[in-house]
Amino acid sequence: MTARFLALYDTPDDPAAFERHYREVHLPLAHKLPGLRRYTVGTGVTAVRGGAPYYLVGMLEWDSLDELRAAFASPEGRACAADSERLQEFTAVRSMVFTVDEV
């Protein structure tokens, strides 16, 4: 099983400030999440049904939904969530998505 958390961000007013905070503050916090198997970042992603492209998509993976939930309930998860609120000062998070794939 793979459990994924995706955060999809709009284009920030100040891309350089957003990028700096995301890479220097948010990513190091996220990499401390317990059980995190993989973290990937994509840019310029457009939804299949049209609309404005997402500026950035962050995808985090765990081995199970229980591990994902435990990670976000941990002190590291709470710190990451608090910083997510800081990121929203730069740009909106258009959506957050959880997915689970059975293997």
Q: How many CB atoms lie within 10 A of CB 9?
A: 21
- The confidence score (pLDDT) of residue 79 equals 96
Tell me the domain boundaries of the chain.
10-101
What is the model's pLDDT at position 54?
A: 85
Residue 68: the pLDDT is 94
Class of 10-101 in CATH: alpha beta
**SS3 assignment, position 81:** helix
CB 40 within 8 A of CB 84: no
Report percent pLDDT > 90 for the chain: 59
Give the closest residue to 90 by CA, choosing from 36, 15, 1. 15
Of the pLDDT bands very low, low, confident and very high (cuts 50, 70, 90), residue 75 is very high
Residue-wise pLDDT for 23-62, tens only, equals: 999 999 999 999 999 999 988 777 666 667 888 999 999 9
pTM, to two decimals: 0.83
